[in-house]
């Protein structure tokens, strides 16, 4: 606790105290997240292991279903590495899902083919919310930690491994709604009509996310990313009260180093372009941007405090080689010269993306970005 407090009291850019990554053969991502010089702009793709890859679909079929794949550390490790065999990506992301936490809380996650996630026991009554307990990651989420450990070992330092969790708010959206939605009115109704109950749920989620991310870091995650996928559904004041406050607590609660190596954190609030400064103030190392934001304007707006990740429109990957190369160059040019940019899409890759287009993008980013470093 005393150590956590001490880290918390370091004012700005505590990450800059770290200089070298000795274990990683390719530490470009870590350097860019710490805004240190790199030879080129690192790139990885949200949902890089997913249904657009035929080898992913084959492994998923062997596992039986998406959830069985998540729960099988050998196969989850296999798919974590699959995109790296095809493309010169600068990071791997642990193959899992943000909904493992509510599942570990007993909500009973399953996936309906073509419809996305569904909970057998969504939080429909006050009593169910008051009964919730913070899961112990090493007990209830052991399969994820085993995947992190195995993926970390299998990578052997080739590139960093990204661990992740959903934000307390985004998890609450699914837990109360019971599945996917476009507006998540169930939890939004609760936060307006029963704010204390909403805060109780967010508090439990917050403690769960902190414990889960720290356990992933202990197991070998080199970077952590927090997906606040639905934060952009909120008004500015509701965003502050029901999402941002908890994002800050998560950033405060996660360890910033392991064995003397920095563990940078990335916060991605989809639709949060107008709150970038507030997100920076959480103390995260980097902010993820969706494609609606001008990354150059965002950089000018926040100064040198954090790195930025993003933000090519995933739809670009459905077009041609020429268009992909041109649009990649546009994003690089918009960010401009210097370090502190991690190239990514503005959201997950579409399942209808031709795999070779991801290769075109990764190579274009590596090729064009050298001029900016």
Task: Name the DSSP letter for residue 138.
Answer: H
For the CB of residue 338, give the shortest distance to ligand CP3 in the complex, in Å: 27
- Establish if 54 lies at the interface with ligand CP3 (CB under 6 A): no
CB-nearer residue toward ligand CP3: 164 or 169: 164
Q: Tell me which long-range contacts 196-201 makes (C-beta under 8 A, separation of at least 24).
A: 197/126, 197/129, 198/172, 198/242, 199/242, 200/129, 200/130, 201/123, 201/129, 201/132, 201/172, 201/175, 201/176
Q: Is 86 a catalytic residue?
A: no
Indicate if 47 belongs to the active site. Answer: yes
Residue 292 lies near ligand CP3 (rule: CB under 6 A): no
Q: Does 73 bind ligand CP3 (CB under 6 A)?
A: no
Residue numbers 345-364 binding ligand CP3 by CB under 6 A: 348
Min dist. Cβ of residue 65 to ligand CP3 (A)? 8
- Contact between 49 and ligand CP3 (CB under 6 A)? yes
Residue found under tokens 């160059």: 329
Q: Six-digit token pair at 257?
A: 């180093």
51 is catalytic: yes
Catalytic site residue from 8, 86, 97, 158: 97
| Cβ contact 129:123 at 8 Å | yes
Q: Which of 8, 51, 240, 373 binds ligand CP3 (CB under 6 A)?
A: 51
Q: Residue 350 and residue 181: Cα distance in Å, rounded? A: 18
| Calpha distance 89→78 (Å, rounded) | 16
CA 259/CA 249 separation, integer angstroms: 23
Q: Which of 47, 207, 249, 256 is catalytic?
A: 47
Does 118 interact with ligand CP3 (rule: CB under 6 A)? Answer: no
The verdict on 86 binding ligand CP3 (CB under 6 A) reads no
Q: How far is the CB of 304 from ligand CP3 (least distance, A)?
A: 28
89 forms part of the interface with ligand CP3 (CB under 6 A): no
Q: Which of 26, 48, 344, 369 binds ligand CP3 (CB under 6 A)?
A: 48
Pick from 124, 180, 235, 292: which binds ligand CP3 (CB under 6 A)?
Answer: 180
Find the binder of ligand CP3 among 24, 34, 43, 46 (CB under 6 A): 46
The angle that helices 168-177 and 195-219 make with each other, rounded to 10 degrees, is 120
99 binds ligand CP3 (CB under 6 A): yes
Establish whether 12 is a catalytic residue.
no
Among positions 239-278, residues that touch ligand CP3 (CB under 6 A) are: none
Per CB under 6 A, the segment of 44-52, 190-198, 288-296, 332-340 that binds ligand CP3 is 44-52
Helix (H) or strand (E) holding 61: helix 54-63
Q: Which of residues 197-236 bind ligand CP3 (CB under 6 A)?
A: 227, 229
Strands 265-269 and 92-93: unpaired
Number of residues that bind ligand CP3 (CB under 6 A): 20
Beta strand pairing status for 261-262 and 257-258?
antiparallel
Q: Can the peptide bond before residue 217 be classed as cis, meaning omega within 30 degrees of 0?
A: no
194 as an active site residue: the answer is: no
Question: CB–CB of 342/309 below 8 Å?
Answer: yes
Give φ, ψ of 267 to 5 degrees.
-110, 130
Active site residues: 47, 51, 60, 97, 174
Binding interface with ligand CP3 (CB under 6 A): 46-51, 60, 66, 93, 95, 97-99, 116-117, 164, 180, 227, 229, 348
């Amino acid at each position: 606790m005393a150590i956590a407090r001490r880290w918390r009291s370091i004012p700005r850019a505590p990450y800059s105290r770290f200089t070298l990554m000795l274990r990683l053969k390719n530490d470009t991502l870590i350097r860019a997240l710490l805004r240190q010089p790199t030879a080129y702009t690192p790139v990885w793709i949200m949902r890089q292991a997913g249904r657009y890859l035929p080898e992913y679909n084959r492994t998923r079929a062997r596992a039986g279903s998406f959830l069985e794949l998540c729960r099988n550390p050998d196969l989850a490790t296999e798919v974590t590495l699959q995109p790296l065999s095809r493309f010169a990506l600068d990071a791997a992301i642990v193959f899992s899902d943000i909904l493992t936490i509510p599942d570990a809380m007993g909500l009973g996650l399953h996936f309906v083919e073509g419809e996305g996630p569904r909970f057998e026991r969504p939080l429909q009554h006050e009593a169910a919310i008051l009964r919730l307990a913070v899961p112990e990651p090493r007990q209830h989420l052991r399969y994820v930690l085993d995947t992190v450990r195995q993926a970390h070992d299998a990578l052997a330092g080739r590139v960093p491994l990204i661990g992740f969790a959903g934000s307390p708010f985004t998890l609450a959206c699914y837990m109360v709604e019971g599945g996917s939605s476009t507006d998540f009115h169930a939890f939004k109704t609760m936060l307006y009509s029963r704010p204390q109950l909403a805060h109780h749920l967010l508090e439990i989620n917050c403690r769960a996310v902190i414990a889960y991310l720290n356990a992933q870091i202990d197991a070998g995650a080199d970077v952590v990313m927090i997906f606040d996928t639905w934060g952009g559904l909120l008004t500015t004041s509701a965003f502050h009260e029901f999402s941002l406050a908890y994002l800050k607590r998560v950033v405060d609660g996660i360890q910033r180093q392991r064995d003397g190596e920095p563990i940078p954190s990335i916060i991605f609030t989809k639709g949060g372009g107008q709150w970038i400064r507030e997100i920076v103030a959480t103390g995260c190392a980097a902010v993820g941007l969706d494609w609606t934001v001008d990354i150059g304007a965002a950089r000018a707006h926040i100064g040198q405090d954090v790195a930025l990740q993003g933000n090519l429109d995933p739809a670009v990957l459905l077009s041609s080689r020429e268009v992909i190369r041109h649009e990649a160059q546009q994003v690089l040019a918009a960010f401009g010269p210097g370090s502190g940019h991690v190239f990514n899409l503005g959201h997950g890759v579409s399942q209808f993306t031709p795999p070779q287009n991801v290769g075109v993008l990764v190579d274009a980013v590596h090729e064009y970005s050298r001029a900016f470093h």
